Structure 1
Amino acid sequence: MKKKHSLLMIFLLVLGTILAACSSSSSSSNEDSSGSKELKFISILTGGTGGTYYPLGGAFANIITEETGIETNAETSGASAENMTTLKAGDAEIAFSQTDISSYAVDGTMMFDGNPVDNIQAIGTLYPETIQIVTTEKSGIKSVEDLKGKKVSIGAPGSGTALNAEQILEVHGMTLEDISKQDLSFDESTTGIQDGTIDAAFVTAGTPTGAVEGLAATEGIVIVPIQQDKVDVLIEKYPFYISDEITAGTYGLEEAVSTVAVQAMLVVRADLSEGLVYDITKALFENMDGVQHAKAKLIKVEDALNGVGIDVHPGAQKYFDEIGVTADQ
Structure 2
Amino acid sequence: MPIRLLLTGLLWISVVLCATAAPRAEYKIVTATKTGTYIQIGRDLATLVAEPADIALEVLESKGSAENIQRMRFERGVKLALVQSDVYQAFLDEAKAGNTDAVDIIKPLRLIMPLYDEEIYFVARADSPLNSIHEIKNKKIAVGPLGSGTALTSRTLYQLMFGEPLPPANTQYLTNEEALAKLTVDKSIDVAIIVAGQPAKLFTDMKAEARNYIKILKLDDAAPEAARAKKAYFPAVIRAASYSTWLKEDVPTLTVKAYLVTYDYGLQSTVINLNRFAESLCANFDKLQANGHPKWKQVRLELPPLNQGWRYYAPMEKRMRACIAKRSTVGFASAGGTTPASKNCTEQELVLGICKR
TM range (shorter): 0.7 to 0.9
- Measure the CA separation in 2 of the matches of 1:327 and 1:62: 28
Equivalent residue number for residue 206 of structure 1: 197
- Which among 158, 161, 165 is matched to residue 154 of structure 2? 165
- Which among 277, 280, 287 is matched to residue 277 of structure 2? 280
Q: Which runs of 5+ in 1 are unaligned?
A: 1-30
Shift of 1:187: 2.7
Which amino acid letter does the alignment assign opposite residue 182 of structure 1?
Q
1:102-154 CA-to-partner distances (Å, cap 9, x unmatched) read 23334544999432222211110110011111123123321235435543210
- Measure the CA separation in 2 of the matches of 1:38 and 1:190: 45
Aligned residues: 291
Which amino acid letter does the alignment assign opposite residue 282 of structure 1?
E
Q: Does 2:256 align with 1:257?
A: no
Distance 1:269 1:282, change over 3 A: same
Equivalent residue number for residue 230 of structure 2: 235
1:199-246 CA-to-partner distances (Å, cap 9, x unmatched) read 32111121122113334654113211222243332233x3xx222222
Q: Please, what is the CA RMSD of the aligned residues?
A: 2.9
Equivalent residue number for residue 19 of structure 1: none
Equivalent residue number for residue 66 of structure 1: 51
- Measure the CA separation in 2 of the matches of 1:200 and 1:110: 33
1:14-54 CA-to-partner distances (Å, cap 9, x unmatched) read xxxxxxxxxxxxxxxxx9xxxx9487311000001111101
Q: Does 2:133 align with 1:144?
A: yes
Partner SS state of residue 93, structure 1: strand
Which one has a bigger Cα radius of gyration?
Answer: 1
- Measure the CA separation in 1 of the matches of 2:160 and 2:263: 35
Distance 1:294 1:122, change over 3 A: same
Equivalent residue number for residue 345 of structure 2: none
Q: Does 2:166 align with 1:192?
A: no
Give the alignment's TM-score, normalised by structure 1: 0.77
Distance 1:235 1:114, change over 3 A: farther
Distance 1:37 1:105, change over 3 A: farther
Q: 8 Å contact 2:64–2:150 — kept in the other structure?
A: no
- Measure the CA separation in 2 of the matches of 1:306 and 1:134: 34
- Measure the CA separation in 2 of the matches of 1:243 and 1:219: 25
- Measure the CA separation in 1 of the matches of 2:50 and 2:253: 36
Shift of 1:320: 3.1
- Measure the CA separation in 2 of the matches of 1:110 and 1:130: 28
Q: 8 Å contact 2:87–2:153 — kept in the other structure?
A: no
Equivalent residue number for residue 101 of structure 1: 87
Distance 1:188 1:291, change over 3 A: farther
Shift of 1:66: 1.8
Partner SS state of residue 253, structure 2: strand
- Measure the CA separation in 2 of the matches of 1:94 and 1:156: 21
Partner SS state of residue 235, structure 2: strand
Give the alignment's TM-score, normalised by structure 2: 0.72
Distance 1:164 1:65, change over 3 A: closer
Q: Does 2:286 align with 1:305?
A: no
Distance 1:208 1:190, change over 3 A: farther
Distance 1:256 1:109, change over 3 A: farther
Q: Which runs of 5+ in 2 are unaligned?
A: 1-19, 326-330, 336-357
- Measure the CA separation in 1 of the matches of 2:97 and 2:249: 36
